[in-house]
Amino acid sequence: MDTNNTTLFEFLEDAKKTLQDYVNIQIKIFKLELIKKNATIGGLLLWMLIFVFLFFGLLLFAGFAFSFWMGALIQNIPAGFGITVLIFAILIVLITIFRKQLFINPFIKIIIQQQTIDIED
């Protein structure tokens, strides 16, 4: 484009095209950042799900081991399992009471930290 013969109309047409390209690129960047953030959260949720299943398995076998040990200690296997159930019931009640402090608030904090990593950089 020759700057000496450029009319205002031609300049505005070029500026309009440049602005449209810029807006389209910004929209694509936003979409890619959104995909990245969703993938990060998805990976975090998958990791937490795997962790919960592994922890459940560990807790299951630890419960059996504790039940048999307690049963052998008091020489009554069913009573050992009863004591284990009582301990687990108390743990469930405590976890239910303190679920916000133990699980919900830390999870929200982790999600917010993951979402704001790019903002801080």
Both tokens assigned to 14: 């070029």
Q: How distant is the alpha carbon of residue 2 from its chain centre?
A: 55
For Cα atoms 11, 12, 13, give the angle at the middle one, nearest 5 degrees. 90
CB atoms within 10 A of CB 118: 11
pLDDT tens, residue by residue, 82-115: 999 999 999 999 999 998 998 888 888 888 887 7
Look up the domain containing 56 and give its range.
Answer: 8-120
Q: Which residue has the higher pLDDT, 57 or 109?
A: 57
83 found inside a domain? yes
67 found inside a domain? yes
Q: Say if residue 121's pLDDT is above 60.
A: no
pLDDT of residue 5: 67
Handedness of CA 80, 81, 85, 87 (dihedral sign): positive
For the chain, how many structural domains are there in total? 1
> What would you report as the CA-atom Rg of the chain, rounded to the nearest whole angstrom?
30
Helix or strand run (H / E) with residue 4: none
pLDDT of residue 52: 92
1 found inside a domain? no
pLDDT of residue 117: 73
79, 71 contact by CB (below 8 A): yes
- The reply to whether the predicted model has a pTM over 0.75 is no
